Structure 1
Amino acid sequence: MVKISYTKLKGSQNMRLRLLLSTLSSTPILIEDIRANATLPGLRPHEVSFLRLLEKISDDCFVEINETGTKLKYKPGIVMGGRHLVHDCGESRAMGYFLEPLIVLALFGKKPLSIKLRGVTNDSKDPSVDTFRSTTLPMLKQFGVSSEGLDLKILSRGVPPHGGGEIILSVPIVQDSLKAITWIDEGMVKRIRGITFSTRVSVQFENTTLHSARGIFNRLLPDVHIFTDHKTGPQAGKSPGYGMSLVAETTSGCFISADNAVYRAQEEDEDGELEDEGKKWLIPPEDLGEQTASALLGEIEQGGVVDSTHQGLLFLLCALCPQDVSKVRVGKLSPYGIQVLRHIKDFLSVKFVIKPDPSTGTVILRCVGCGLKNLSRKLS
């Protein structure tokens, strides 16, 4: 029997990113001291759920967790993809936590992926499913991903604490490899689109949110359309809440997004301590509209071809490109973006050249991709 050599890592930071890069680079990993000193040690429910999702879409994937959950062995398998898969994401994190790595892995699968996810569609921590539909999927097209078969349908919405949302995600496979890009022109904002939603509350919440956001944007540009999505009955999930997702499209085809949601929830902090119940309900709808609109304007002001929540994904896709130079412009580097750059260097041996552009306050990054090919796809 061949002995497997595991790359040793410590701590719970960037668990999802480590598992994603381990799978893409076929590197078995051993993670120790996972919240060993916390009040509730070990893996969190959403991390265990993500491991189950990896098992569902992969073949020959091996996961071993010790009794306390503080030690994890993971040997990646072959990403298979497949149709009619179903996964329950649980209620501790929103679907956005699962969608980003799932989309990247699905591109390098044996077959196109079609999966139904259940759980929380909108919260204030992870990007909403609306943001993935309006911003993340169009971004993949820059890297040569076919728009045919790339889709996200929202069947029902769910907010914390009890979720109840459902979506269907479809992702095609990359026939050979991604396409290296030069993407440094962010252009000027030409239109703003958005959606406000409400579940198990009055439709008036949506209208108030919409009008307060429009009040800010109408002073700046004429082409602003914000749609409403009022859910009732089974489509409204199991908890009351409301929220907003906005996206600005530029003249050069960039999509910059911002979103937020309000709900009553018992929130856990990093150590598993419960925070005050009902704290999230303190934002009235008019403030939510203003805050989300201001957040979007802040992202636009930073510059760059993507917003700060998409930086990590952009760097990862650049690193997976063929062995050719990719060049991208982003605003101020986000903490998560910096972590992604470090982990890409460790797992894929891809280094980025980072050059600040003082005239615009942006940063230009260059890298030569690792040349990952989709070897598991079916050859006709």
Structure 2
Amino acid sequence: MEKTIYKRLKGSQSFRQRLLLSTLSSTPILISEIRDDDMIPGLRPYEISLLRLFETVSDDCSVVINETGTQFKYKPGIIMGGKNLVHNCALSRSIGYYLEPLLVLGLFAKKPLSIRLRGVTNDAGDPSVDTFRSTTLRILTRFGVPKEGLDLKIEARGVAPGGGGEVLLTVPNVQSLTAVQWTDEGMVKRIRGTTFSTRVTRDFEHSMRYAARGIFNNLLPDVHISEDHKAGTQAGKSPGYGISLYAETTTECVISADTAVSYGRTDETGELDAEKEVRLPAEDTGVQIASWLLHEVEKGGVVDSTHQGLLFILCALCQQDVSKVRVGTLSPNGVETLRNIKEFLGVKFGIKPDTETGTVILTCVGSGLINLSRKLS
């Protein structure tokens, strides 16, 4: 039997991206020194849950974790996809943590992906399921992903600490991704959004909507924020509320911002998460997210800072043609993504600051990843 050669990495940073790029490039990895110096060393429950999710959508992949969780080996298998899959996400991170790598995996699977994810749908740390539905899925269609079969249904809301939310994600397969020339962010023409509340009064939603609209109505007339009050089994297991907003531009770009307010959760040490310490009244929450959305728009670029990493990965996976994109200030996650792409896919980006607009233009030649499991039409 041929001996497996592992790419050796250290630390817990970029865990999701390393797993994703390892799988797409069929590169076995061995990661060591994972939180060696922490009070509780090793992999966190949400990271182990992500590994199990990769096992769920793949065939013949191998995960070996040492006793302390400070080192593991991962050998990618074949991305299978499939229908009627179910995954219970760890409650220490929201479903958004799992969705980003899952979307990209699904594109290059053998069969269309249909999976039900259960856990926390909205929190202050990860992009909400609303943001994935309004913004992230649209970014994928820019790269030639068909709209048919690409969907995210929110069947129940769930906030920390109890969760209880549920979404149904469907992703079609592609043969390859199409390179993009995407540098014109356009002007904002409308703002849309959704507020939600679970196991609390609707008054929280009214306050958030009123406060957010108070800021936007001074700038443009086309503003609509809907309400999504949940009750009963659709309201999850914990009280909370939140807001997700997005701005659509004249060139079909979508810039988003969101947050959720709940009663916090404990971390692995038993200490209450900092999320509770920064809990804001509903009105202040509306003002904060409306202001943050305007800040993201002001930065410029065709995506917001949260989506930079995904944008760069999609460009790097495209057919062997030149992609050119514009972003605002490079985020720390965006910079780390560029390093990971170079390490796993060998794709280097040209980076050119645009001093006139304060934005950054990036160009690359895609790696030409082809879904060999998908038959040519």
Give the match's secondary structure for 1:247.
strand
Query: What is the rounded CA distance, in whole Å, between the counterparts of 2:273 and 2:98 in structure 1?
Result: 26
Stretches of structure 1 that go unaligned for 5 or more consecutive residues are: none
Query: Within the alignment, does 1:15 sit opposite 2:21 as a pair?
Result: no
Query: Residues 141-165 of structure 1: CA distance to partner in whole angstroms, max 9, x if unpaired?
Result: 1000000000000000000111000
Quick one: which of 315, 334, 347 aligns to 2:312? 315
What corresponds to 1:216 in structure 2?
A: 215
| Aligned pairs for 1:114-263 within 5 A | 114-174=114-174, 176-263=175-262
What is the CA-CA distance between 1:281 and the residue it aligns to?
Answer: 6.9
> Which of 311, 323, 334 pairs up with 1:326?
323
Q: Distance in 2 between matches of 1:355 and 1:145?
A: 28
Equivalence for 1:303: 300
How many residues align structurally? Answer: 377
By how many angstroms is 1:128 displaced?
Answer: 0.1
Q: Taking structure 1 as reference, are residues 166 and 30 closer, same or farther at Cα in structure 2, changes over 3 Å only? A: same
- Write the distance in 2 (CA, Å) between the matches of 1:78 and 1:330: 33
Q: Which residue of 1 aligns with 2:51?
A: 51
1:29 CA drift (Å):
0.2
* Residue pair 2:265, 2:273 contacting (<8 A) in 1 also: yes
Per-residue CA deviations over 1:300-340 (Å, capped at 9, x if unaligned) read 00000000000000000000001110000000000001000
Pair 1:352-2:349 in alignment: yes
Q: Tell me, yes or no, if the aligned pair for 1:262 and 1:281 is still in contact at 8 Å.
A: no
User: How far apart are residue 278 of structure 1 and its match?
Assistant: 7.7
CA RMSD of aligned residues (A): 1.2
Q: CA offset at residue 376 of structure 1? A: 1.8
SS across alignment from 1:282:
coil
Aligned: 1:92 with 2:92: yes
3-state SS of paired residue (2:36)? coil
Q: CA deviation at 1:267?
A: 4.3
User: For the structure 1 residues 286 and 372, does the alpha-carbon distance in structure 2 shift closer, same or farther, using more than 3 Å as the test?
Assistant: same
Q: State the 1:217 CA deviation.
A: 0.2
Give runs of ≥4 in structure 1 deviating > 6 Å: none
Residue 368 of structure 1 pairs with residue 358 of structure 2: no
Sequence identity percentage = 68
- Structure 2 residue aligned with 1:343: 340
Q: 3-state DSSP class of the match of 1:153?
A: strand
Distance 2:71 2:147 in 1: 40
Aligned to 2:195, what secondary structure does the other structure show?
A: strand
Deviation at 1:37, TM superposition (A): 1.3
Distance in 1 (CA, whole Å) between partners of 2:239 and 2:210 is: 21
SS at match of 1:279: coil
Query: For 1:24-35, what aligned pairs fall within 5 Å after superposition?
Result: 24-35=24-35
Cα drift, residue 275 of structure 1:
3.6
Letter in 1 for 2:292: A
Q: Classify 1:331/1:67 alpha carbon distance in 2 versus 1 (closer, same or farther; 3 Å).
A: same
